Amino acid sequence: MTARRQWAQRWGRYAESLGACLLQMKGYRILARGYRVPVGEIDLIARRGGMLVFVEIKARADYADAAAAIGLRQRARIERAASLFLAQNPRLAGLAMRYDAILIAPWRLPRHLRDAWRGTRP
C-alpha cells in the first residue's frame, strides 16, 4: 500500500470518528460504524428518538468538494445498504428515517447536512 493510500485511509477514519462525535454531542446514539454489505456501505447509522439516520461522511479540501463527492450512484448504494440494514433489524423498520451527510474540511468545523437527499423508503 502506498503512503498516499495509507494517509487517505487514516484521514477517512479520522473524519468518521469526528462525525460520530459530532452526532453524539447532538444527542444521537451511534448504532453502527462502517456498515458494509455486498450491496453498499454506510459510514454511520445513528438514532435520535424516533428518527433513524443513515450518514455519509465526506472529507475533502473544502465543503463544496465534499458535497459534490456524494453522487447519485453512491446514494443508491447507501440506500440499498439501508434496506438491508432494516431487513436485518426489523425492530427499527417502523422509525422515521432520513439520509444525512457530514462534510469535513481541514481547519473547519464539521458541517452536518440533515436530510441531505431524499431516498425511497427501504
Going from the N-terminus, what domains does the chain have, and what CATH number goes with each? 3-116 (3.40.1350.10)
Non-local (6+) Cβ contacts of 95 within 8 A are: 47, 50, 51, 52
User: Mind listing the pLDDT tens digit for each residue in 91-121?
Assistant: 999 999 999 999 999 999 999 999 999 876 5
HSE-up of residue 105 (Cα within 13 Å, Cβ side):
14
Mean pLDDT of the chain: 93
Backbone angles phi, psi at 18, to 5 degrees: -65, -45
- Greatest Cα pair distance, the chain, in angstroms, is 44
Non-local (6+) Cβ contacts of 55 within 8 A are: 19, 23, 42, 43, 44, 45, 46, 99, 100, 101, 102
- Write down the pLDDT at residue 120: 67
Query: Which residues partner with 37 through β-bridges?
Result: 40
What is the average pLDDT across 69-74?
Answer: 93
